[in-house]
Structures are given as C-alpha cells and as structure tokens.
Chains A and B, each alone.
Chain A
C-alpha cells in the first residue's frame, strides 16, 4: 500500500463516504462563501479609492501614500519622494511596460534588482481597500523579488484597480490563470519577534510609498 492509499483509506475508515457527491459538496462550499460578505469588518464611508488611501495613511500600517493625476507625473513624484528621504535618484525599475514607457531621464535606472537594492519602483496589479494591500501577480513584467529586496519600495497602483475586499482578487478574471505568486503586500516589512515590539524593515522593505494613479479610471 502506498502512503497515499493509506491516508485516503484512513480518512474513509474515519467516516467519510467513499464516493463523495461532488455537486452537493460544491453547493455547500458556495453556501459558506455566500455567508462571508455580511461577516466582513466595517469599512466606513467612501469609495474604494478613499478607503484605500485612509488605510494606507493609518499609522498601524506604516506606509505613506500620495495621489498622482497622470502617469507622466510618476517619475517626478518618485524623485521628490527619494529626495525627501535623502536618497539619490537611483532606482531598480520593475519591468512593467507602463513604467518603462515613462521618461526616467535624470535617473540612474537599474533594469534588474540587486540583493541590497536601496530603492525600487514597482507597478501593482491592484489594490484592496479593506486592508490597504497591494496586489502583485508574478510574471515577466512583475518579478516577485522586486517587492522584497529593496529598502525603499515605491509602488504605482491604478485607482481603477482598487477593489473593496480581500475576496475581490481571490478569483480569476476572464483570460487569467493563477500566476506562480499572487502576493498581497500590506505596508512595509515588520517583525514583533523580540519581546513583541514592532520593528519595520525585517527582511523586506523598511519603507513603502504608494502612488495612486488616477489617470484612466
């Protein structure tokens, strides 16, 4: 008997019917999901964009956020943010076409990300108002490590892609397949491992700055 057979055998012996009625199980699972919406924590008033901004500004999250009207304004917003942090205009640029299309003159732009990169500019697939989370789908234009290696992570998220709830990015949209990594990033990295005290910048970024882009939405 293989380990697999033994485990399924033991589950069967513990009382599960050998031939499960798949339709009934699916209906029960859907019923559970239908109960989810009314149990969710209250969000307060406002559009998803407003709530998202509010979450990101809350001190508990530890991020910073600014709105930009047009994509072309992003490099300037990045420059200002870096200067305010006392950093030179040197960035690793996520290989996203919308970012690459912008005018980065005056920047030292790195095409790949280094192990101890100081600053990276990223483009998120979406945002979640409930938690102030950024959604990244790994792929050719969104390497996973861009969200984890830099000390300062500056991320553009299109306002029209901000959805109210965690569940809103939990299902596939038309034509999508699951990426290798679907990652929700909520604030900068942190740890409470020593005496329960929160410290930012454990392994991932110590600083997260979000640019909400209103153009096109």
Chain B
C-alpha cells in the first residue's frame, strides 16, 4: 500500500522509526496536545468515572445481545429505505461495495475517513476496480497524496510535520499555499477538494454508531466532510463493523460525550449526523440510494475467543496518545491498520497471531491505556492473553523457549541457582567500567541504545547471609 516499501519485520520497522527524528517531533506535537486537552476535559467532568462505567455497560449490553440488536437495526434500516448487506470477511465487504459502485455507474467516489474501510482494504479494492477515490478528510487526503497508510486512528497523518505537508501540497495541489503555515495549508486543501465533492457518483462513509431503534448511522467529524461526502452523490454507502450498535440515539449521546472528550478533548464534535435512509420525497438534497454494509471480519471470532471486551472500543485513540511505545515508534511500525495498544490487541485477531506475535510483546504493561480508555477496556489483560496464547501455540522463538527452559531448570534447584547466579554476577562485572556496562557479548540488543548498570559484587542471597551472620555475631 505504501509508496515506500516498508520493512517486513516489526523490529526493522521499529528501528527505522526510532532513527527518524522528524517522526519523533511529529508524534510529540500531536499526542502532547491531545493528552493535555483530554486531561482538561476529563478534569472538568465531575462524574466522568460513572459516565465511563455507564459507557462500558451500554457497550457490554449490546454485545451480550448482538444478534437481537443487529436484527432490530436491519429491520429499522430497511423500513427507512436503506439496503442492508452482510459481509463475513474483508473480501466480501469490498466485493459488495465495488458491486454497488459499478451498478451505480461510478467512475469516481468520495470517501469520508473510516478505519473500517482501511481495515477491509477498501482503498485497494477500489483501485483494482478502476474507480477513482477522493479522500475528503484532510489527513486522509494528505496520506493519499503521499501514498502512505494512516499512522493513527484519529489523526491518520500524525507522522507528517507541517513542513512535509507543505512540500506535498506544493507538488500536488493546483493552487497550493506558499510556506508551511497550517491555516494556509488547510485552505489549500479546501480549495483543492471542493469540486470533488460534486464530481462523485458514490459517497462512502463509515459509522461511529449504528442506532438500532431507528436504523440510522451516526458519523462524527470536525471538518464537515462526512455530510459533503454523503449528500451530493446519487448513492451513499456505509461500511460498518457489527460492534458499532447502540440501542437508541439517546444511548449514543453518553458514548458521544466519552468518545469526543477522549479523542480531542472537545465536548462534542463540530458535526454529528444521524443518517437515516435515502432522500425523502420533497428533500432538496441527498442520495437516491442508501446502502449499509455490515461487516464481521473477525468480530464474531473475537466474541468466541475471549476478546469480547475489545468490541467495546470506540476508536477514540486515547490509548495511542498515552502509550509510551506508540509515542516512541509511531503507528506505521505496528504494521496493521490499527496501531498502539488497541491495535496490538486487534491486529493478531484480524491478521493472525503468528505474523503479529511481536505486537503484544511490545508493551510495558504500565496500564496507562486502560486508565484512559473511555469504556474501560482491560487492554493489558488482553495483551497478556495474546502472550500466553503465543507461548501455548509454540510461536515464541526457539532461543527464548530454550533459555526459559534452562532458567526453569536452575530455579527449581536452589543450590545450582545460587551457584549460577553468583558466577553470572562476577562474570558480568568484568565488563563494567565506572559502574556501567557499555558493551558485553550477547547483550548488544540492550547496550546498543542504553548503558546497563553494573550489578553489585555479591548476589542478594550472599549479602543476606553475610549480614545475618554478622548480626548473629553481635548478638
């Protein structure tokens, strides 16, 4: 998908990311602002904790009765004039979407940012089908021009500095801004995209909520691009994960308060729209046909395999902004559609554990993500679950398994363990200079990036015995 080939392994992608000082700067700029604003929003909400528990319970209620709510949503959406489609897999979802586009005679589609669309590979499927795609969200527009993947679920172009965006716009926009003033860059994109909204036969959006009791689809944006994407074209297609359901519009409001404060620190998005069916008789604008593609793509498997809690996710991005690992390596290093803590849980579920076993390991388990999650998803617990499973399925490398087996052998034999530990401490100290170890055989992975404090001359047990016998003499 990327214009520049990405390294195949997680480690190589991480190495490339940490070596890029511009990336570090870009991540720090956006996530720093996001953390500050979220903290202020939460601090000024006295009952945030009970709202969060309520948000969690609303999502759990829907997930516990997913079949009921899906059937209800389908019935009400059909009654409003929508056509409802079902897709088991990403491939099926793309096939349905492309078929609808073709039937509408679409040569060009506009698209309002949707992580599900990225997850199912819709940009790629549209290209294969020869359908021109105009991304209308500013960040998606930037990465479309750059030929890159999103690096954050709320700010897909977070990895780009304004200078890089300015360079890109100068090369690609018809009437580009001069300089790297952010306001001028936004104005340049506004000019560039305006005509595109009216040149598409089909508009494609995602869904933040699916409202079961009305059959409506809720989108939230700050730019206003969702409504401009879904109103002028003849056909509106929604692609949505089946976990997006809520019982009613009123239930959605509690989740909306949590979602927006956690994402950007605002009280509500500038534009919150409930799309219900196609254009009505007498409506001056709106699409003639409204399609909703409901996508499973691994979600029912997550239900069955102990990842039920992950289906609460509102895609707010707070866990990314607060994650020390995400803030160090950025989004692309994760390799999947979803980065950060939520991505490290989702990607093995969506793309398989074998190819992604590094992701749940790349975590300090400091618990920040769970603390800021507006629906209290126990992300560290779910990550540990993947680690456990990876071990049980024999996916951990042989060297790790052998060293752990050796360690276990020693630990179960205290005399041997003490002997080995005493020997190891003395051996390691031979590499110390002024109390620090800069280089040591077999420890390059650690010492390449940081020094290692030399251990004390004696092991804990040796010191313990010595001090207790000294006390014994005094007595």
Contacts and interface: CB of A to CB of B under 8 A. Distances in A.
Contacts of A29: 61, 247-248, 251
A191 B283 contact: no
- Among B58, B232, B268, chain A packs the most CB atoms within 10 A around the CB of B268
Interface stretch (A12-20, A67-75, A76-84, A209-217): A12-20
A85 interface: no
Contacts of A6: 88, 296
B162 interface: yes
Contacts of B58: 32
A96 to B, nearest CB: 12
Interface stretch (A97-105, A119-127, A137-145, A155-163): A137-145
- Among B33, B162, B223, B247, chain A packs the most CB atoms within 10 A around the CB of B223
B473 interface: no
Interface residues of A, number: 76
A11 interface: yes
Interface residues of B, number: 102
Contacts of B257: 40-41, 166
A98 to B, nearest CB: 17
B231 interface: yes
Nearest to B227: A148
A207 to B, nearest CB: 13
Contacts of B198: 115
A194 B185 CA distance: 9
Contacts of B256: 166
B228 interface: yes
Interface string B160-194: 11100100000000000000001101110110011
B138 A8 contact: no
A140 B242 contact: no
Interface in A1-58: 2-4, 6-8, 10-16, 18, 20, 22, 25, 28-29, 32-33, 35-36, 38-42
Contacts of A32: 54, 57-58, 61, 247, 251
A194 B138 contact: yes
A180 B67 contact: no
Nearest to A137: B274
Interface in B273-308: 273-280, 282-286, 294, 296, 300-301, 303-304
A28 to B, nearest CB: 6
A195 B270 contact: no
A164 interface: no
A187 B270 contact: yes
Interface string A166-196: 1100110000001111111111111111111
Contacts of A12: 67
A203 B110 CA distance: 14
Interface stretch (B39-47, B326-334, B350-358, B401-409): B39-47
Nearest to A58: B267
A39 B279 CA distance: 36
B280 A133 contact: no
A62 B380 CA distance: 39
Contacts of A193: 137-139, 142, 155-157, 223
B268 A195 contact: no
Interface string A109-124: 0001001100000000
Given A10-B301, A193-B142, 16 more contacts: A7-B294, A32-B251, A33-B250, A40-B51, A131-B267, A144-B285, A148-B224, A178-B214, A180-B279, A181-B231, A193-B137, A193-B157, A195-B29, A196-B30, A199-B186, A203-B228
Interface of B: 26, 29-34, 44-47, 50-51, 54, 57-58, 61, 64-68, 70-71, 80, 86-88, 92, 136-139, 142, 155-158, 160-162, 165, 182-183, 185-187, 189-190, 193-195, 197-198, 214, 216, 222-225, 227-228, 231-232, 242, 247-254, 256-257, 264, 266-280, 282-286, 294, 296, 300-301, 303-304
Interface of A: 2-4, 6-8, 10-16, 18, 20, 22, 25, 28-29, 32-33, 35-36, 38-42, 60, 95, 112, 115-116, 130-131, 133, 138-140, 143-145, 147-149, 165-167, 170-171, 178-197, 199, 201-205
